[in-house]
Amino acid sequence: MGRLIVIEGIDGAGKRTLTDALERELGGRVARLAFPRYGVDVHADLIRDGLHGRLGPFGDEVYGMAMLYALDRRGAAPDLRAALDTHDFVLLDRYVASNAAFGSARLHQDARGEFVRWVQAIEVERFGLPVPHAHLLLRVAPSVAAERSTRRALTEADRARDTWESDDALQARVAAVYDGLAADGWLAPWHVVDGTTTPDAAGLAERFAE
């Protein structure tokens, strides 16, 4: 059985870059997946519509949007289990904790609020999603992350910042919830990584390979 490693952080924290570096360092049999699965799952495509204001008031409905995220992961669960059976490591760019962090921040709750408990009840207990072996939290100042995501939107074709990415106050609250989840060791151990420097991917890979 492989190890499920989740990379979390606010928009623009550098999750994709760290995932690339970890994949290189871990070598061997590594699978990776990013959520939402745009272009793969209908729920993910509805999420994108909601984030860009194309679902009317539904895009503002915290529990409704969170359920779309959960359903996208539920649809991916068989592939996740298969990957864990055939690979040493499965690297995920966001997972259940992102739903907990963003939804709680939108409701102005913290990491010990009702919404975090609801996400765990839906995604882990009801849908039976695989529980991570570890989380990596890329901690970066929201202002730095916003600059990165803006720059990325300018350089990637057809890549516009969504309403959550462009809400600096929301991103700051999400960062605070992530810190709370990490402090509580929610679902699995958390390792906090400084996202303003080049992460020590080799050291992290060595730790997970032990």
Global pTM value:
0.90
Q: Domain 3-209 carries which CATH code?
A: 3.40.50.300
Q: What is the pLDDT of residues 36-82, one digit of tens each?
A: 999 999 999 999 999 999 999 999 999 999 999 999 999 999 999 99
Q: Where are the domains of the chain?
A: 3-209
Tell me which residue of 176, 163, 205, 155 sits closest to 59, measured CA to CA. Answer: 163
Cβ contact 88:3 at 8 Å? yes
Ordered alpha helix ranges (H), the chain: 15-26, 42-51, 62-86, 96-106, 114-119, 142-155, 168-184, 201-209
pLDDT one-digit tens code per residue, 136-169: 999 988 777 667 666 665 555 455 667 888 788 9
Residue at 43: amino acid letter: H
